Chains A and B, each alone.
Chain A
Amino acid sequence: MNNKFWIVLSHTYWSRFKTKSYMITTALILLFIIGLANVQSIMELFAGEDEADRVAVIDDTGTIFDSLVANLESTDSDIELTNYEGTVEEAKEEVSAGTFNAALHITMEDDMPAASYHSNQVSASGLANQLENSMQQIKIAMATNAAGIDQATIEQIYAPIAFETVMIQGEGDDGPQKSEEDLNSARGLVYVILFLLYFAVLTYGNMTAMDIANEKTSRVMEILISSSSPVSQMFAKILGIALLGLTQFGLIVIVGYVLIQQKKDEMVGGFFDYFGLEDIPVSTFIYAIVFFILGYLLYATLSAMLGSLVSRIEDVQQLMMPVIFLIIIAFMIAMFGLNAPETSFVKITSFIPFFTPLLMFLRVGMLDVPFWEVGLSIIIMVVTISILAVLGARVYKGGVLMYGRSTSLKDFKKALQLSKKE
């Protein structure tokens, strides 16, 4: 019995693993990740071919050109300025001829500098912005100078305000409230888990349902369930495909890890900062894994059950719709919850087993949720999975012997009836 469980599991795993589609998808995902990690290098590769932007400056004032050069140098930009001796018209012609990317005409109006920018490249607006910024700063410097305000005052004016977000500790809360930074880092991890779970349920849940439907359509199912019990087969399938998913995720993690090791310097502070993956408490990671596994099991069991109901491959998608809707709803609530994790709506929905993996994880990641709440939600999930497993096994047992055209809830009832004694 036990032995047969492993036979089904390894068969499910290997027969899928060896398919071309699996290998190609995995390769594509890995390529995508490698590409993503190297996106900066790739862009630089192309950027390297571009020469510096050359700008002809016609400086009527005769003084601003030097300040402009100094100002642009400090901004680390790739602009090459030329003090152009000719007229504006001549400069424009040279722009048209391609000698320069743009021409900048600096004049004085009411003792303040003004400029006009001439270019035939619409896409060079970044260049115009840079020049405008520099000119703005020069103008500010000149204006403040003229008004007799010293440098220290100006710096004071432009210094950003000190604005700190401080959480007020509630009475019932144990432990320190999370700071804005913690919240951001949790938000990042929630994002990651959200997408992983969403992706896993859609892909591997579908695969589970397909695999079972496939065995049903080819009618090999009747032989299979006469050799080993449907329940053990159902779980062997769920786990076999979960392992397949883990293989894919494992490869992604390994490749990701290697890439991160290689590019540690550029990435720390970039990607990591963005997703807030630095300084996350270990407990959050543990919760992430627990909720991910529970979430996967829940949805995979549901998919397996539905997969056993269909008799044609074409009907799988149709029956999977409710499952996909559930995960989409969970996803939407989670998206809403990311910005308002403390609302009672999120709190209540986090106890609904189909939403728990996303929402309760969101809450433990972002708030200080009392342990009993987390425990309760996990218990609810485990109980739901068990109920689904028992129900699923019965539907599976009856469903695999049922061959009809319709795909409706009636089938569900019929399948249960078939597996019953009467």
Chain B
Amino acid sequence: MTLKLTNVTKKFGSFTAVDQLSIEIPEQQIFGFLGANGAGKTTTFRMILGLLDESSGDISWNNEPVDYSKSNYIGYLPEERGLYPKLKVSDQIVYLGRLRGMKKNDILQELKKWLERFKVEDYFDKKVEELSKGNQQKIQFISAVIHKPKLLILDEPFSGLDPVNVEMLKQAVVDLKNEGTSIVFSSHRMEHVEELCEHLCIMQRGKPVVHGALKEIKRSFGKKNLFIHADFDLNFLKDLPGVVGFKDFPEGCKLQIESEEKSQDILTAIQGKGFIRRFELEEPSLNDIFIEKAGESYEQ
């Protein structure tokens, strides 16, 4: 059940939201979909779901087009959360669950399990508008997964949640994957993506700039991070050949270097200058890759 996007393009008038996107989302994995705001993530999701028609290209799931006949196997957590504010949680989930082809009794059974898992059992009979934003989000999440979808699309699932709830939902996502759900997931939080995703894709202005397995991406990125803590001024390292990034810290600095070989030149350069407490070569973080590839200013 791989989801395959081939040369997918979406134009709104003269504006191209998604440009020649070709990705393959493997089965039973969590696929990270990254990009700055306005990079075309939500548009892509909407095309996968059939809410928008692609201008050109092809989207297939298990070699078949995705249409409403498949909607019972698809779960969707939209970026803009939406539930009926005046409806009770149970009525709400029953309606949305039935629209995904479930029977009422099964829905109620599943709903109770989920509410218990998220430690909100007493919300069963509450109206959605009475819940806090974070709790509404749990209900929204339940509505997306109640029918045990084979394909789950999560658009910013953890935004606005406290760390405890983020962990709770993260664990739920991992469990769903282990039960056989393919998950596409977008986030601005790189650490979440790094933690959850095997494969990912970084979008920039509708174009995929990085695409592949996380480890592969990190390795082929080439650049490494070098942390140096020392007692003397390290500012002169900025101008050394091979150094592409420099960030000053109270205890020292973080260098971004073209390749790991360059670290040895730097070591030579700082030797004898004073006391060095730390000299550490690190893999680049996804955050570094994102900032460089997506090219947009981005706060962690």
Contact = CB atoms under 8 A, between A and B. Distances in A.
A117 B74 CA distance: 89
A422 B55 contact: yes
Contacts of B52: 401, 418
Contacts of A422: 11, 55
Contact of B74 (A11, A220, A226): A226
A222 B53 contact: no
Given A11-B95, A223-B144, A417-B13, 16 more contacts: A4-B99, A8-B99, A15-B84, A15-B87, A218-B83, A219-B78, A222-B76, A222-B78, A222-B80, A224-B99, A227-B99, A227-B100, A228-B71, A229-B68, A397-B51, A401-B46
Interface of A: 1, 3-4, 7-8, 11, 15, 215, 218-229, 397, 401, 417-422
Interface in B71-93: 71, 74, 76, 78, 80-85, 87, 91
Contacts of A229: 68
Interface residues on B, range: 20 to 34
B164 to A, nearest CB: 26
B49 interface: yes
A226 B53 contact: no
A230 to B, nearest CB: 9
20 contacts: A1-B68, A7-B98, A8-B99, A218-B82, A218-B85, A219-B78, A220-B83, A222-B51, A222-B78, A222-B82, A223-B82, A223-B143, A226-B49, A226-B71, A227-B96, A227-B100, A228-B71, A401-B46, A422-B11, A422-B55
Contacts, number: 71
Residue among A222, A227, A397, A421 facing the most chain B CB atoms (10 A cut-off): A227
Contacts of A219: 78, 80-82
A163 B157 CA distance: 83
A88 B12 CA distance: 95
B40 to A, nearest CB: 14
Contacts of A218: 82-85
B156 interface: no
Contacts of B54: 421
B76 A226 contact: yes
Interface string B89-119: 0010001101111000000000000000000
Nearest to B72: A227
A289 B101 CA distance: 36
B82 A225 contact: no
A391 to B, nearest CB: 16
A129 B18 CA distance: 86
Contacts of B78: 219, 222-223, 226
B227 to A, nearest CB: 44
A31 B95 CA distance: 34
B87 to A, nearest CB: 7
A411 to B, nearest CB: 14
B300 interface: no
Interface of B: 11-13, 46, 49-56, 68-69, 71, 74, 76, 78, 80-85, 87, 91, 95-96, 98-101, 143-144
Nearest to A222: B78
A101 to B, nearest CB: 59
A216 to B, nearest CB: 9
A182 B55 CA distance: 60
B83 to A, nearest CB: 6
A420 to B, nearest CB: 7
Contacts of B76: 222-223, 226
A421 B9 CA distance: 10
A135 B91 CA distance: 75
Given A8-B99, A226-B74, A227-B99, A221 B82 contact: yes
B166 to A, nearest CB: 22
A8 to B, nearest CB: 7
Nearest to A420: B53
Contacts of B82: 218-223
A414 to B, nearest CB: 9
A353 B56 CA distance: 38
Residue among A15, A218, A419 facing the most chain B CB atoms (10 A cut-off): A218
A1 B13 CA distance: 31
A422 B68 CA distance: 21
A227 B72 CA distance: 7
B96 A223 contact: yes
Contacts of B13: 417
A418 B47 CA distance: 12
Nearest to A7: B98
A25 B51 CA distance: 37
Nearest to A6: B98
A8 B12 CA distance: 30
Contact of B51 (A4, A7, A225): A225
Contacts of B55: 421-422
A401 B47 CA distance: 12
Contacts of B12: 417-418
Contacts of B46: 401
Contacts of A228: 68, 71, 99
